[in-house]
C-alpha cells in the first residue's frame, strides 16, 4: 500500500504588511483590485500591479510618459 504523505502548510497572508501608520492614520501600500473590490490586494511586480484572484493587471505610469 502507499505511504501517507504530509500535506504542505499554506502560508498565511500577512495583511498587516500591506498597511503603514503615518501620523495616526492608516495608509494602504498596495491598491485594491478594481474588479474584485475591497479586500483583494494587488501584487506589486515593479512596473505593474496584478490581482491574483481575477488576473486584472494595471500598469504603473512612468513620470516621463504622459498621454492625453
Q: What is the pLDDT of residues 17-64, one digit of tens each?
A: 899 999 999 999 999 999 999 989 999 999 999 999 999 999 998 877
Sequence-distant (6+) residues with CB within 8 A of 26 are: 19, 20
pLDDT above 60 (res 68): no
User: How many other β-carbons are positioned within 10 Å of the β-carbon of residue 51?
Assistant: 19
Q: List the domain range (segments joined by +) for residue 36.
A: 31-68
pLDDT above 70 (res 6): yes
Name the nearest CA neighbour of 41 among 21, 49, 9: 49
3 state SS of 23: coil
Based on the structure, what is the number of domains in the chain? 1
Q: Is residue 57 part of a domain?
A: yes
Amino acid at each position: 500500500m502507499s505511504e501517507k504523505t504530509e500535506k504542505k502548510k499554506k502560508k498565511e497572508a500577512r495583511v498587516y504588511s500591506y498597511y503603514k501608520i503615518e501620523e495616526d492614520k492608516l495608509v494602504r501600500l498596495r491598491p485594491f483590485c478594481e474588479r474584485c473590490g475591497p479586500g483583494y490586494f494587488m501584487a506589486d511586480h515593479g512596473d505593474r500591479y496584478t490581482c491574483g484572484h481575477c488576473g486584472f493587471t494595471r500598469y504603473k505610469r512612468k513620470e516621463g510618459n504622459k498621454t492625453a
